């Protein structure tokens, strides 16, 4: 992805809890000999609520104004842990912490999608029934992905979702980093600039 001054690549996210960052650290250490696995950097680990994508810089504030009313009416919900898995199930290329599908999560994603229709008429990253998940690693062209050791026993808490953050993808030293721009609190008319 080439970064341009007049384009911003943005998405809504929930930062990963510390337990997931610790799990990823363990996975990385246990699989350090596998060079084709690209692990997410700790500060980039997140659950995507809605991927907005590349937007012209001049539309940025208007897009924020469109999503604020949606987030202001959202109520807190809890995502229940489902599994640590390879994804997608056909031709895996990622390691996910997967959560059970949740109506409130899907409704939030759908509501944001419809609030942005006039700016993004077709968002190829939108899914009607999104699977809540956190990506820990990616791997391409890896036929023996089952060589990746996943722990058999570990504990991950449910995630209480009562806010989300607007993150931007920025290129630094040839790599993508995610920068937190602002935080939106659910069911309140407030947000915090970072």
Encode 98-160 in three state secondary structure: EECCCHHHHHHHHHHHHHCCCCCCCCCCCCCCCCCEEEEEEECCCCCHHHCCCCCCCCCCCEE
pLDDT in tens, 54-72: 999 999 999 999 999 999 9
Burial class (CB in 10 A: 0-12, 13-18, 19+), 21: middle
CB atoms within 10 A of CB 166: 24
Q: What pLDDT does 140 receive? A: 78
Q: What pLDDT does 193 receive? A: 62
CATH fold, domain 7-193, is Cyclic Phosphodiesterase; Chain: A, (3.90.1140)
pLDDT in tens, 32-60: 998 889 999 999 999 999 999 999 999 99
pLDDT class of 192 with cuts at 50, 70, 90:
low
CB atoms within 10 A of CB 160: 12
In whole angstroms, give the CA distance from residue 110 to residue 194. Answer: 26
Q: Is the pLDDT of residue 87 over 90?
A: yes
Q: What value does the mean pLDDT of the chain take?
A: 89
pLDDT in tens, 125-164: 667 789 999 999 999 766 778 889 998 888 899 999 999 9
The size of the chain, in residues, is 194
Number of helices followed by number of strands (H, E) in the chain:
3, 11
In whole angstroms, give the CA distance from residue 153 to residue 166. Answer: 33
Angle between helices 60-72 and 103-115 (to 10 degrees): 140
**Token couple for 100:** 């059970």
**Mean pLDDT of the 78-106 span:** 94
Q: What pLDDT does 3 receive? A: 44
Q: Is the pLDDT of residue 190 over 60?
A: no
**Token couple for 92:** 């895996």
Is the pTM of the predicted complex or chain greater than 0.85?
Answer: yes
CB atoms within 10 A of CB 3: 13
Q: Is the pLDDT of residue 118 over 90?
A: no
**Mean pLDDT of the 157-182 span:** 92
Q: Would you kindly state where each structural domain of the chain is located, as residue ranges? A: 7-193
Q: What pLDDT does 1 receive? A: 37
């Amino acid at each position: 992805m080439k970064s341009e001054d007049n384009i911003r690549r943005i998405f809504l996210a929930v930062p990963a809890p510390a337990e997931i960052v610790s799990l990823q650290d363990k996975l990385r250490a246990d699989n350090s000999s596998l060079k084709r696995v690209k692990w997410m950097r700790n500060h980039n680990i997140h659950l995507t609520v809605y991927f907005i994508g590349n937007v012209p810089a001049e539309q940025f504030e208007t897009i924020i104004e469109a999503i604020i009313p949606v987030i202001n009416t959202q109520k807190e919900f809890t995502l229940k842990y489902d599994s640590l898995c390879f994804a997608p199930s056909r031709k895996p290329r990622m390691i996910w912490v997967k959560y059970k599908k949740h109506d409130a999560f899907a409704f939030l994603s759908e509501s944001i999608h419809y609030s942005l229709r006039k700016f993004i008429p077709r968002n190829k990253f939108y899914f009607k029934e999104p699977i809540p998940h956190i990506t820990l690693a990616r791997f391409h062209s890896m036929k023996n992905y089952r060589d990746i050791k996943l722990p058999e026993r570990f504990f991950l808490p449910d995630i209480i979702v009562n806010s989300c953050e607007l993150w931007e993808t920025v290129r630094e030293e040839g790599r993508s980093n995610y920068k937190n721009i602002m935080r939106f609190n659910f069911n309140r008319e407030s947000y915090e600039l970072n």
